[in-house]
Amino acid sequence: MQETDWIRFKPSPIHGQGGNARRDIPSGTRVIEYVGDRISKAESLKRCEAENPYIFCLDEATDLDGNVEWNPARLLNHSCDPNCEAEIDGGRIWIFARRDIQAGEEITFNYGYDLENYREYPCACGTAGCVGYIVSEEFFEHVRKQGRAGGACSIRQGGLAGQ
Ligand SMILES: [Zn+2]
């Protein structure tokens, strides 16, 4: 598998392939850039409807589709209590450490999904606070309530990981 200065990619207990810290990573470090094709909102909508889960909202006009071979960051897993976070800076997406990370820890970030069809994206992150589905942190409370009520949901919040 591919490697970077900070990350070694290998099979993960969470899902498929994942990335692990090769060495201790200080909080705030930009661990890897999330790269991909820059696409228009119209093209993005098409690809989202084709259930491409790797699309990030960059700005009002442009999205980024990370579903490309040359984007190893697409292999990083989601967690409900992640050690990294995505940030957009000057039209580029960086995955940075939100806390100190120990060598060997799996690198995770919150995918920032909205609630559309969230039940199709179960989470297996295994953290104590796991809400059971891959959704943005702002929806945790909502999903926990839904889980108890067993109801359906139709709230829609713009693009994936849209800030
Ligand atoms: Zn989880």
Predicted pLDDT at 104: 97
How many angstroms separate the alpha carbon of residue 132 from the centre of ligand 1? 5
Placement of tokens 């994942």 in the chain: 18
Whole-number Å distance, alpha carbon 36 to ligand 1 midpoint, is 25
How many CB atoms within 10 Å of residue 51?
8
Considering the domain boundaries, does residue 49 fall inside one?
yes
Q: What is the mean pLDDT of residues 99-125?
A: 94
Confidence check: pLDDT of 2 > 70: no
Domain assignment of residue 123, yes or no: no
Q: Is residue 37 part of a domain?
A: yes
Q: Check if the beta carbon of residue 123 is closer than 8 Å to that of residue 132.
A: yes
Tell me the one-letter amino acid at 70: W
Please list the residues that pair with 10 across neighbouring strands.
18
CATH of the domain at 64: 2.170.270.10
Residue 138 lies in a domain: no
Report strand pairing: 55-57 vs 62-65. Answer: antiparallel
Q: What span, in angstroms and rounded, lies between the C-alpha atoms of 101 and 109?
A: 12
Q: Which residue has the higher pLDDT, 1 or 64?
A: 64
Other Cβ atoms within 10 Å of 56 Cβ, number: 22
- Our count of domains for the chain comes to 1
Residue 117 in any domain: the answer is no
Domain-embedded: residue 139 = no
Long-range contacts of 144-153 (CB under 8 A, 24+ apart): 153/115, 153/118
Average pLDDT (27-54) is 94
Rounded to the nearest angstrom, the distance between the alpha carbon of 81 and the centre of ligand 1 is 7
Structural domain containing residue 13: 7-112
pLDDT at 69: 94
Name the pairing type of β-strands 106-109 and 77-78.
parallel
Q: Could you give the dihedral angle defined by the CA atoms of residues 37, 38, 39 and 40, in that order, rounded to the nearest 10 degrees?
A: 180
Report how far ligand 1's centroid is from the alpha carbon of 40 (Å).
31
Residue 43 lies in a domain: yes
Q: Which amino acid is at 83?
A: N
The predicted model scores a pTM of 0.84
Distance 61 CA to ligand 1 centre (A): 31
% of residues, the chain, pLDDT over 70: 88
Q: Which pLDDT tens digit goes with each residue over 59-110?
A: 899 999 999 999 999 999 999 999 999 999 989 999 999 999 999 999 999 9
* Residue 23 is assigned to a structural domain of this protein: yes
| Separation of CA 67 and ligand 1 centre (Å) | 22
